[in-house]
Structure 1
Amino acid sequence: MKATLTNEIKKLDTYTWPTGFYSDGLHAGLKEEKKDMGWLYSEVPASAAGVYTTNQFQAAPTKLTKLTINVNHQLQAMIMNSANANSCTGPQGTKDAHMMQQLTAQKLNINNDLVGVASTGIIGEQMPMDKITEGIEQLELTKNANVTEAILTTDKHPKTISVQFKINDQTVTMSGFAKGSGMIHPNMATMLGFVTTDANVDGIELQQLLSSQVDETFNQITVDGDTSTNDMVVVMANGMASNQQLTSEHADYPVFVAAFHQVLGFLAKSIAEGGEGATKLVEANVMGALNHEEAQTVAKAIVGSNLVKAAIFGEDPNWGRLMGAIGQTNAHVDVEHVSVWFNDQIIVKNSQAAIFDEGVMKDSLKSNVVTIKVDLNNGDANGQAWGCDLTYQYVKINAAYHS
């Protein structure tokens, strides 16, 4: 079934906005040179869903967007900026987030409660509302992808994906973009993610799907173990593909779910791969777990271990680091019969060193993607997580990042 669904979803070569969506991005002066402000707009109100950081110091724009979406699970626009997080900014920060919402609504001639707000960047500094106001005035309704650049902070490049598939024989487009390279850990983290689609799907259904899929994708990546104040993933579905409204009972719903998982999974792995200073994407695949939750926990512990990450950076097959990471979890493990593979080469069998060519292994670890497979030998459940190596450059970037 999965293979069939995969064949029904086409990944596009270029980033493509779904029918009825427009965007723009520009340099408003929040940064010295790069684009730092943008928006999304749908011709009609769209079903909307969101998930947000669990950090206790949730930023003003994050709180506002959550409140806005929760009213009726609809949005028609998102205004967003980088360089300033509008976090830990007190009553003035709340006022500024509402002002961004209001100014955007006025410019687009829509209701305030159809506009979400997203910010990322420096924590603790007030928003330069003169620049924000001027930036909103300059934004246009275009089909360019500048907004994917406008949300970036320390990212190397935009993270984007577009796919197409059929619902009721109607072509549906789904596109996603995200930012995030540091402060990435469970339950989101200095990351913003946006998915747009012209599929017709109920807002409550969309919320349930997003919440479940984030657990399998964005919440299974880690860069450095820190969680930010501004994270969110927002999905907008405007229905302009004219398909019959999707619910879990719809015959084509599995195709929509598979496409949604593909988009979120791609963005999540792109964030892990583009971690600050990273040279390698690390993928952990856990099998033989008692249940899925424990498999996910172990996979996340592996890619989140600084010792494992440092070993991968050093191209050192020091599997003892990995065993330590597994053992720190509360997962049920057959401690006498665990097996481990690096890039499909077995290095641990029955919880002891396997015979392998260390030179060949070190050469294998020079690749840009390192895959770790673990068999806990205690059940039938699987789990997966993504991370990156820990490099000297990571320390350099964050030692120089003013906050």
Structure 2
Amino acid sequence: MFTRLYIHIPFCRRKCPYCAFVSQESENSLGSYPELLLKEMRLASQKAAPQKPLQSIYFGGGTPSLLEPGQVAGLIAEARNTFGLSTRVEISLEANPGTVDHERLAGFRSAGVNRLSLGVQSFDDRMLKTLGRIHSAQQARDAFSAARSAGFTNIGIDLIHALPGQTDQMWHTDLEQALQLAPEHISVYGLSVEEQTPFAELYAEDSPLLPDEELAASMFETADTQLTAHGYEHYEIANYARPGFRSRHNSGYWQRDGYLGLGAGAHSFLRNEHYGSRVANTPDIDKYSATIQAGGLAREDVTFLSREDAMAEFMFLGLRLADGVEFSSFEQEFGVSPESVYATVFKELVTAGLLKRINNSVSLTRRGMLLSNPVFARFLP
């Protein structure tokens, strides 16, 4: 039913004004939350079992680096005892550069974390201030160096572009500084102004303070040119990796591997006798806590996918990957060729220059990557 585990830590030192993820501010202690995660893991194991030992564990947030290394070690040990871990398990942890030092990072490495994702976002202190980040550019560089000295050989850096007041040259400099550190993985996300965030009040969709579509597209091209020139594989719309260092957890997500989500606001995708079910935990931390303490699962919503839903997901998740969608994989999953289902959509998107067909597969063109959301919408039932 699942081969991957996601653990959500919905706490931050300070909530960033652009962030729409489930999180709340917590200066230091996470209280009993780590113990609740252990209990939820045991409760969930009574309802669903992995198809095989876990292939990956991902600590996301929020700010997972607020966990103590001993708490991370305890959660990994419980996962090993409850579900079993592959001998090649990838264990990722997201870290805010403003919350870590060498001792803490060495503790995470000793706990079993073997992949670190640093939420740098920018190496420009002006942009970091705009984003409401708690760290400086120098702290980001120091955190990366500390991670290396702590023994991490698989480090990713997250960057955001199309920021208020950002120029293409500023973005070029951000990328150059990231490349100087030589991480194994770089994610480059365009800023998305989400509803019900402070940014939504500050920056309307057509705000002159935000880069226009032409500049945002230029930034996408700038990233692709610089990163591929330095040997990074562009393997997903927003993700680049050295050969052999693609995020296995996220790749599994895009390939519709089953995963179990733990924590307030966590989501799961469980492979079952249907075409899969998507499960959402309550984002209310107090409600989550009370339900788990009472011995229940804090699931707020369960959706069983129809065949049409599953086929659409297969297409738009698979198209996020540079390799695209293999027709044979679709047929193996659903017993029909995608051409028999989406012939008209394929023809329209290829004609529009958004999709390309190579032998028996389809993938996004460069223009299709820039306009991916409208492309994906064409596959919805």
**Category of TM-score, reference length = shorter chain:** under 0.3
Give the TM-score normalised by structure 2: 0.26
Select the structure that is richer in helix: 2
Give the TM-score normalised by structure 1: 0.25
